[in-house]
Amino acid sequence: MKKATLLSRPVALRPNLSTTCAAGLALGLLLSATVPVAAQTAPAAGSTAAKVTGRISGVVQNAASKQPVEFATVALLATGSEKAVLAGACDEKGAFVLGNVPVGEYTLAVSFVGYQPQRVPVVVTAERLVLELPPVLLAATATQLSEVKVTGERALVESKVDRIVYNADKDLTNSGGTAADVLQKAPLLTVDLDGNLQLRGSSNIRVLVNGKPSTLLATNLAEALKQIPADQIKSVEVITSPSAKYDAEGTAGVVNIILKKNNLEGKSGNIGAGASNRNAYVNGNFNQRRGKLGLNTGLGTNPFFNLAKSMARRTDYLGDNGQSQLLQTGRFRNSGWGLWGNLGLDYDLTPKDVLSLGVQGNYRGFLNDRQQYTDYRLFRPGQDPFVDAYNRDIDTRDANGNVDVNLGYTKQFTKPKQELSLLGLYSVNLGRTRYELDQQRGERTDYLERSRNDSRNREITLQADYVQPLDSTQTLETGAKTILRHVDSDYRIDADSLDGRGYRPVPARSNEFGYDQNVYAGYASYGFGLGKKWTFKAGGRLEHTRIAGEFRSTGTTLRTHYTNLAPNLMAAWALTPDHTLKLSYSRRIQRPGIWYLNPYINTADRRNVSSGNPDLRAELTDAYELTYTTFIKKSSVTFSGYWRQTNNAIESVARLVPGSELLATADTTRILYTTFRNLARNSNYGLSAFGSTKLTEKWSLSGNMNFYWRQVSSPALGLSNSGGMFNLNLNSSWQFEKGWSAQFFAFANSRQVTLQGRNSGYRIYSLGAKKEFWDKKANVVVAVINPFNARLAFRNDLATPSFDYENNSYFYNRQIRVSFFYRFGKMDNQSRPKKSIQNDDQKQGGGSNG
């Protein structure tokens, strides 16, 4: 009898044009159809071979990067036949095990979408029943066209075990937009008209760029997302159940924006330009690798412009049976420009030791010119009405600059998947805000005001991570991290009552604020397999936080510290190779970022005043999720049920206060003061479904539906609110002949429930067409956004026993974009292991509060 045949070296395949794309079902059928799929096929009962069986194990890797190919299909074929004796799928580490293998000669067939199939001869004998094969290497399907390498096409949206990936570079309608435009198309995410980001109805999200934090994102997320051009984004990862390796981030999860970059040998680059009736952009990238040294650099700019108008009504119910009414109408114009640049270097000390350095910078200048009319009327029994009517011209100038410097060292050991990473980050953000206010009553100017707010946000982070495989089914991950944050905010108000004394400081509305937040964390995570179908992962993260704040103008100080344990558990059950069930639990801590803490009082509208709250404490959230994923004829469907419970939740709270309490005036009429407080208990219960398929070889379709119930209550205020909500999106793309393609996107978001009221929903849709030429080195894209709706309306309603408030905003939204893209150079695939710091522990700010 022949001895077992083992491969002496890994086997790789030459690239060709074949891909494994296939036609599927429509999205509606995907979300309702059930197709049984057989598990491993056992040998016939009573056969001689069934009496003696063996075991075959191995790992499937990318031929270029040597990284695992997750969930590749593995089939054991009888020699000379295409009939599968046994079949299975790799786990998230690319590992597979086929048990109960009868003695005999076989062909091991391995395949996965985007790779060329591989076949390996295998012989099982009575003398050699247990075979551990060398790595099976799969090469990406690719072909060389002149100097451009075109790889196997990825789906627009991919569903993985722990995340959903939206491949933004495959969406034509993104060209010329910003990160905010891209994120609103990713499954489970919504972006409102102010640019505020939510995941499954929660704004407690940590947003990373290339897996790295940024002080730019920590300061004002809504504005920061407008600084990242869409054309620089490769993909968006939505992680709903972060493991212990991530910072104990909080309720919703992590969103990781992956920018385009090259780890390739040779020289290449690209340039792009575009314009629309609302913005324009010009950018370029250059990449070079020679031997052990790699370089990546880019530079771009993007001016923008928009018009809007608003109308607000408020009725105040006063304690003496009095009542006041406020009417405000306004028009404003937003304009500005952004500049960004990056430089990345990596050097291979050895084939398994990589040193990397990255520098990324952003600058954004923002101008807001607003004209607002205010009519305030106070009615008291037995008194004549008090009327206060005036116009205000408010000019706001905002500048924001950010620099991130990352240094990393990664070492891979001889044992597969054993790895050590040492990482460091220095990040600084400088902000400067100015406004000038001119108030007129009738034809006469009677009041002038000006303000400045200078801020500085600095982060220093040190991190170490170690991965130790214990055997083929067990892995231990450990690490430690320190984050040192320092924030300064210096704000000043000067007022001129036109009494001949000129501008004079207003001490009651001015202060200098300093804030330190240091986090010390350690984690351990253990993953293992049980049998052939069960996978478990359990871990815990211990974090100690120390906070020190100081109002330097008044001498007021703030000191606090706390320690939190954040456990997490995950269990996955592979019912069959094409059907997986996953259950997860995690506890997260959500610290308020500077946007929520900054005590700067914004009094540009003296009837509606807002500020942050430096006394905020961290939130704690328990999150549970059950997910079912299935593949139907190479189409995928994912269903999820989830529950998130947040105690001590941070909510925006509005209340009426006398004007003299916040303003340097003797005016005792009521103003609406909005800030943040730890007041609420917030629960979200939801169901979501995502599916993707190919209706034909050239027509792809994907979509997401998310329905959830939110219940929020505050015993301290005696308030509660609840309601059902949903969001939906749909992506469809067509490939035509001669380099033509087209894409359609639609999104709808329902009204949102808040502690004191509701925010209205909205919808967005777009259509784009692309023409490729010059051997696919260049393309032109034309896209239209909301062509049948000139404006988007956004309504915010607040209702309390003391007041009713309604605010309607109308943003110009109809847009047509034309963009051009050209790539040059020649690169060969040379992937290298890299790591970067991920700070994902702070609650993000956005919108106009604080």
pLDDT tens-digit series, residues 774-807: 888 888 999 999 999 888 888 989 988 889 999 9
- Is residue 67, in this structure, part of any structural domain at all? yes
* Domain total in the chain: 2
What average pLDDT does the segment 123-127 reach?
Answer: 85
If asked whether residues 661 and 554 sit together in one domain, one would say: yes
**14, pLDDT greater than 50:** no
If asked whether residues 522 and 668 sit together in one domain, one would say: yes
If asked whether residues 625 and 701 sit together in one domain, one would say: yes
Cα separation, 53 vs 40, whole angstroms = 14
Residues 6+ apart with CB under 8 A from 123: 2, 3, 4, 5, 104, 105, 106
In this predicted structure, what is the pLDDT of residue 37? Answer: 32
If asked whether residues 261 and 389 sit together in one domain, one would say: yes
In this predicted structure, what is the pLDDT of residue 22? Answer: 32
In this predicted structure, what is the pLDDT of residue 201? Answer: 60
**By the 8 A CB rule, do 525 and 539 touch?**
yes
If asked whether residues 457 and 580 sit together in one domain, one would say: yes
What average pLDDT does the segment 342-355 reach?
Answer: 86
- Is residue 153, in this structure, part of any structural domain at all? no
What average pLDDT does the segment 642-670 reach?
Answer: 80
Among residues 108, 141, 174, which one ends one of the domains? 141
- Helical segments of 464-589, H only: none
* pLDDT tens for each residue of 256-267: 888 776 444 567
Cα separation, 395 vs 369, whole angstroms = 5
If asked whether residues 78 and 217 sit together in one domain, one would say: no
What average pLDDT does the segment 82-87 reach?
Answer: 80
Residue 644 sits at the vertex; the CA angle it makes with 559 and 630, to the nearest 5 degrees, is 140
Cα separation, 431 vs 471, whole angstroms = 50
- Helical segments of 192-347, H only: 215-219, 221-224
Cα separation, 236 vs 648, whole angstroms = 30
* pLDDT tens for each residue of 276-333: 998 898 988 888 878 788 888 889 998 988 899 999 999 999 877 889 999 999 999 9
If asked whether residues 192 and 70 sit together in one domain, one would say: no
**1, pLDDT greater than 90:** no
Going by pLDDT thresholds of 50, 70 and 90, the confidence category of residue 350 is confident
Which residues are paired to 55 by β-bridges?
130
**39, pLDDT greater than 50:** no
* pLDDT tens for each residue of 750-765: 998 988 889 888 888 9
**152, pLDDT greater than 80:** no
Q: Give one DSSP letter per residue of 280-305, joined into a string.
A: EEEEEEEEEEETTEEEEEEEEEEEEE
Q: Which two tokens stand for residue 658?
A: 């006398």
Average pLDDT, the chain: 79
- Is residue 780, in this structure, part of any structural domain at all? yes
Pick from 772, 829, 777, 822: nearest CA to 147: 777
Residues 6+ apart with CB under 8 A from 224: 214, 216, 217, 362
Question: The domain spanning residue 257 has which CATH number?
Answer: 2.40.170.20
If asked whether residues 393 and 507 sit together in one domain, one would say: yes
Pick from 87, 102, 86: nearest CA to 54: 102
Among residues 90, 106, 141, which one ends one of the domains? 141
**124, pLDDT greater than 80:** yes
If asked whether residues 55 and 173 sit together in one domain, one would say: no
* pLDDT tens for each residue of 563-605: 989 898 989 888 887 788 989 998 888 888 766 877 777 776 7
**φ, ψ (nearest 5 deg) of residue 129:** -90, -25
Q: Which two tokens stand for residue 91?
A: 């786990």
If asked whether residues 541 and 585 sit together in one domain, one would say: yes
- Is residue 448, in this structure, part of any structural domain at all? yes
Cα separation, 448 vs 497, whole angstroms = 6
If asked whether residues 134 and 182 sit together in one domain, one would say: no
Long-range contacts at 653-657 (CB < 8 A, ≥ 24 apart): 653/677, 653/679, 653/714, 653/717, 653/755, 653/756, 654/756, 654/798, 654/800, 654/805, 655/800, 655/802, 656/316, 656/802, 656/803
User: What is the extent of the structural domain holding 632?
Assistant: 164-840
In this predicted structure, what is the pLDDT of residue 443? Answer: 85
In this predicted structure, what is the pLDDT of residue 161? Answer: 55
**By the 8 A CB rule, do 652 and 680 touch?**
no
Q: Which two tokens stand for residue 730?
A: 């749909």
The torsion angle over the Cα atoms of residues 209, 214, 220 and 221, rounded to 10 degrees, is 20
- Is residue 14, in this structure, part of any structural domain at all? no
- Is residue 293, in this structure, part of any structural domain at all? yes
Question: The domain spanning residue 92 has which CATH number?
Answer: 2.60.40.10
Q: Percent of the chain beyond pLDDT 90?
A: 24
**817, pLDDT greater than 50:** yes
- Collapsing DSSP to helix, strand or coil, 219 comes out as helix
**627, pLDDT greater than 50:** yes
Distances (CA, A) of 349 to 291, 352, 642: 11, 8, 45
What average pLDDT does the segment 165-177 reach?
Answer: 71
If asked whether residues 328 and 431 sit together in one domain, one would say: yes
Chain length of the chain: 850
Which range scores top for mean pLDDT: 5-14, 306-315, 598-607, 693-702? 306-315
- Is residue 684, in this structure, part of any structural domain at all? yes
* pLDDT tens for each residue of 431-474: 999 999 999 998 899 999 999 989 898 999 999 999 998 887 88
- Is residue 229, in this structure, part of any structural domain at all? yes
Q: Which two tokens stand for residue 237?
A: 């990862």
* pLDDT tens for each residue of 489-519: 898 989 998 888 899 998 877 888 888 989 9
Going by pLDDT thresholds of 50, 70 and 90, the confidence category of residue 216 is low
